[in-house]
Amino acid sequence: MDASVLLPLIGLAVRAVNGLAGWLLTYAIHSTLLIGGLLLVAATPAGRRLAAAHG
Is 37 contained in some domain?
yes
Write the CA distances from 47 to 13, 17, 33, 35, 36, integer angstroms: 46, 40, 16, 14, 13
Is 3 contained in some domain?
no
Is 36 contained in some domain?
yes
Mean pLDDT calculated for residue range 18-25 = 98
Is 50 contained in some domain?
yes
The pLDDT, as a whole number, for residue 27 is 98
pTM equals 0.64
Q: How many domains does the chain have?
A: 1
Q: Dihedral of the CA atoms 31, 35, 37, 38 (nearest 10)? A: 140
Taking 3-state DSSP, the helix, strand and coil percentages for the chain, each rounded to the nearest 5, stand at 90, 0, 10
Is 6 contained in some domain?
no
Q: pLDDT class for 51, splitting at 50, 70, 90?
A: confident
Range of the domain at 51: 24-55
Is 8 contained in some domain?
no
Average of per-residue pLDDT values in the chain: 92
Mean pLDDT calculated for residue range 12-27 = 98
Mean pLDDT calculated for residue range 13-40 = 97
Is 41 contained in some domain?
yes
The pLDDT, as a whole number, for residue 7 is 95
Residue 22 contacts by C-beta under 8 Å, 6 or more apart in sequence? none
Is 34 contained in some domain?
yes
